[in-house]
Structure 1
Amino acid sequence: MRAPIGHFDHAFPAPDRLDDLVRPVADAVRGWRGGTPAEQIVYVETNPEWADTAVFVEHYGKELLDTSANCVVVAGKRGGETTLAACLVLSTTRVDVNGVVRRQLGARKASFAPMDLATGETGMEYGGITPVGLPDDWPVLIDSAVVELPYVLVGSGRRSGKLLVPGKAFAELPNAVVLEGLGIPA
């Protein structure tokens, strides 16, 4: 199979590579219910030593700079309650944590979740967190620019691989909310 974006040596339909995915991501792919067929989600092998964005695009294709998205875990706090959520924005932007995220979560304060909390709650490796396979009760906030792309490169749950996902498929995730202005200029 050839990857729909980028220049990867090995690309496979994600349902054929469940053993390469962390359990929550594999379970989400196995039980995929969206209008986009799971076979359109592509798993690509990547070298974790090339994870830095500049090095990554040098090896796998400069067009990936404009078609990659980052998934970050945020914590919204109000009173004694903390709400964890995921935010997906293009890698050329940053998450508007103190504006859009805070308002969407109804929080007094919002911030990036600590690494150990993010990895512990998701079952994914830091630097590989993906919106596919997150806890069912988490809001998944997605910048509208992400869903407009034909394919988007995101983490696979591990640093040694990535997923190429049709942009519209992100809007089909459980608790997905597509928002204008979630990603702001970096």
Structure 2
Amino acid sequence: MTIISLLLALAAGLLAWFEYRDRREEALATRTLEFISTWDERGYRKPYSLLRDERKSFFDSLSQVDRRASHTDARARSNIYFRFYHNFFKEKRNEEAFNQVKFFFNMLSLCLEANLCSKNITKTFFDDTIRTFLDCFGGYLEEEALVTGATSSVIQLRHLLSLESGTCFYDSTPQNSGSNTSPGS
């Protein structure tokens, strides 16, 4: 009789664990979908689009010499980023858009760090958006953190979602293969 009781208790425990896991996944998915809705409905997509358009405009204005140098010379690339940040943050609307997007991604990062949002759904929906934002502004955010002493949760998104680093550049310079590439959008 005790073996049957033990097997029933074990089966009940396993069933309870599966039920808990399913409810937890559902809660994570629901919270993440709320973030996606917030991105679309509360207007965070619009400031991100402004950042994207400003970035594209700046990099499209670069000379072919600067574009080629950016591929092989870290110092040239660093100087281009410096010019980009300098020009970008001159405009108050750009700074406001940057702060709005940074705020949203900080909230999303905190949700992921607290294990309240689904990493899989977040990565599926925001992968390219977060990667592009971090590729363009990650260096600025890290520098800002050094100056202020306050770390930004946005920087952690690359690690939390296992995102690869890329480049902020819209590259229309023909490579050796003769093909054009346009990373990030």
- TM-score bucket of the superposed structures, by smaller chain: under 0.3
Question: Which structure's residues are more often helix, by fraction?
Answer: 2
Larger Rg: 2
Question: When the two structures are superposed, what TM-score results if normalisation uses the length of structure 1?
Answer: 0.24
Question: Which structure's residues are more often strand, by fraction?
Answer: 1
Question: When the two structures are superposed, what TM-score results if normalisation uses the length of structure 2?
Answer: 0.24
